[in-house]
Amino acid sequence: MKYLVTIYGSKETWESIPAEEWPAAIAAQEAFNRKYFDSGELVGAYGSGTEADAKVIRVRDGVPAVTDGPYLETKEFMGSFYILDVADEARAVEIAADLPWASHEAVELVPLPHESPAPQR
Protein backbone atom coordinates (compact mmCIF):
# COMPACT_ATOMS: atom_id res chain seq x y z
CA MET A 1 0.00 0.00 0.00
CA LYS A 2 1.28 3.45 -0.85
CA TYR A 3 1.08 6.44 1.48
CA LEU A 4 1.74 10.15 1.10
CA VAL A 5 3.66 11.64 4.02
CA THR A 6 3.78 15.42 4.22
CA ILE A 7 5.58 17.81 6.52
CA TYR A 8 4.06 21.24 6.97
CA GLY A 9 5.97 24.25 8.19
CA SER A 10 6.00 28.00 8.11
CA LYS A 11 8.48 30.73 7.40
CA GLU A 12 8.63 31.39 11.14
CA THR A 13 9.42 27.73 11.88
CA TRP A 14 12.26 27.52 9.37
CA GLU A 15 13.69 30.89 10.46
CA SER A 16 13.61 29.83 14.13
CA ILE A 17 16.19 27.10 13.47
CA PRO A 18 19.70 28.52 14.02
CA ALA A 19 21.89 28.47 10.92
CA GLU A 20 24.49 26.30 12.62
CA GLU A 21 21.84 23.57 13.19
CA TRP A 22 20.85 23.26 9.51
CA PRO A 23 23.75 21.03 8.38
CA ALA A 24 22.91 18.45 11.06
CA ALA A 25 19.20 18.67 10.28
CA ILE A 26 19.82 18.10 6.57
CA ALA A 27 22.21 15.23 7.33
CA ALA A 28 19.60 13.57 9.56
CA GLN A 29 17.01 13.89 6.81
CA GLU A 30 19.37 12.44 4.20
CA ALA A 31 20.14 9.51 6.55
CA PHE A 32 16.38 8.90 6.87
CA ASN A 33 16.02 9.00 3.08
CA ARG A 34 18.91 6.55 2.52
CA LYS A 35 17.60 4.17 5.20
CA TYR A 36 14.15 3.86 3.63
CA PHE A 37 15.31 4.01 0.00
CA ASP A 38 17.60 1.10 0.86
CA SER A 39 14.73 -0.85 2.46
CA GLY A 40 12.63 -0.24 -0.67
CA GLU A 41 9.87 1.45 1.34
CA LEU A 42 10.58 5.02 0.23
CA VAL A 43 9.52 5.61 -3.36
CA GLY A 44 10.41 9.30 -3.46
CA ALA A 45 11.33 12.24 -1.22
CA TYR A 46 10.76 15.79 -2.39
CA GLY A 47 11.32 19.17 -0.77
CA SER A 48 8.96 21.83 -2.02
CA GLY A 49 9.39 25.51 -2.70
CA THR A 50 8.17 28.11 -0.24
CA GLU A 51 4.74 29.64 -0.11
CA ALA A 52 6.17 32.53 -2.15
CA ASP A 53 6.87 30.06 -4.99
CA ALA A 54 3.43 28.42 -5.00
CA LYS A 55 0.78 29.16 -7.62
CA VAL A 56 -2.90 28.30 -7.74
CA ILE A 57 -4.55 27.56 -11.08
CA ARG A 58 -8.31 27.68 -11.41
CA VAL A 59 -10.06 27.23 -14.74
CA ARG A 60 -13.44 28.93 -15.06
CA ASP A 61 -15.33 28.94 -18.35
CA GLY A 62 -12.26 27.49 -20.04
CA VAL A 63 -9.99 30.35 -18.94
CA PRO A 64 -7.13 29.62 -16.53
CA ALA A 65 -6.54 32.11 -13.74
CA VAL A 66 -3.17 31.90 -12.03
CA THR A 67 -2.73 33.46 -8.61
CA ASP A 68 -0.07 33.33 -5.94
CA GLY A 69 -0.38 30.44 -3.51
CA PRO A 70 -0.44 28.50 -1.40
CA TYR A 71 -4.05 27.54 -1.80
CA LEU A 72 -4.71 27.42 1.94
CA GLU A 73 -5.38 30.60 3.88
CA THR A 74 -2.77 29.81 6.49
CA LYS A 75 0.83 30.51 7.41
CA GLU A 76 1.77 26.84 7.04
CA PHE A 77 2.69 25.28 3.74
CA MET A 78 3.84 21.87 2.55
CA GLY A 79 7.58 21.76 3.12
CA SER A 80 8.30 18.23 1.92
CA PHE A 81 6.51 15.13 0.81
CA TYR A 82 7.38 11.47 0.60
CA ILE A 83 5.79 8.48 -1.10
CA LEU A 84 6.00 5.24 0.85
CA ASP A 85 5.22 1.74 -0.40
CA VAL A 86 4.76 -0.44 2.68
CA ALA A 87 2.94 -3.54 3.86
CA ASP A 88 0.38 -1.75 6.00
CA GLU A 89 -0.63 1.42 7.83
CA ALA A 90 1.23 0.43 10.98
CA ARG A 91 4.51 0.39 9.06
CA ALA A 92 3.68 3.72 7.40
CA VAL A 93 3.06 5.27 10.83
CA GLU A 94 6.33 3.83 12.11
CA ILE A 95 8.28 5.35 9.22
CA ALA A 96 6.48 8.71 9.42
CA ALA A 97 7.27 8.88 13.14
CA ASP A 98 10.95 8.28 12.29
CA LEU A 99 11.12 11.45 10.18
CA PRO A 100 13.59 13.83 11.83
CA TRP A 101 11.21 16.78 11.29
CA ALA A 102 8.39 15.02 13.15
CA SER A 103 9.87 16.42 16.37
CA HIS A 104 9.48 19.98 14.99
CA GLU A 105 6.31 19.95 12.91
CA ALA A 106 3.24 17.83 12.32
CA VAL A 107 3.59 15.01 9.84
CA GLU A 108 0.49 14.01 7.86
CA LEU A 109 -0.08 10.48 6.57
CA VAL A 110 -2.61 9.85 3.79
CA PRO A 111 -3.25 6.52 2.06
CA LEU A 112 -2.93 6.46 -1.73
CA PRO A 113 -5.37 3.71 -2.71
CA HIS A 114 -5.49 4.64 -6.41
CA GLU A 115 -2.59 4.76 -8.82
CA SER A 116 -2.35 5.49 -12.52
CA PRO A 117 1.10 4.27 -13.48
CA ALA A 118 2.99 5.98 -16.25
CA PRO A 119 2.89 4.05 -19.52
CA GLN A 120 5.96 1.98 -20.36
CA ARG A 121 8.15 3.55 -23.02
- Which domains does the chain carry? 2-112 (3.30.70.1060)
**pLDDT means per 10 residues in the chain (121 residues)?**
87 86 93 96 87 77 79 66 94 93 84 84 82
Provide the pLDDT for residue 70.
Answer: 57
CA distance linking residue 114 with residue 2, whole number of Å: 9
One-letter identity of residue 12: E
Provide the pLDDT for residue 1.
Answer: 92
Q: Could you tell me whether strands 42-47 and 55-60 are parallel, antiparallel, or unpaired per DSSP bridges?
A: unpaired
Q: Report pTM.
A: 0.77
Classify 96 as helix, strand or coil.
helix
Provide the pLDDT for residue 75.
Answer: 61
CA-wise closest residue to 71 among 54, 85, 91: 54
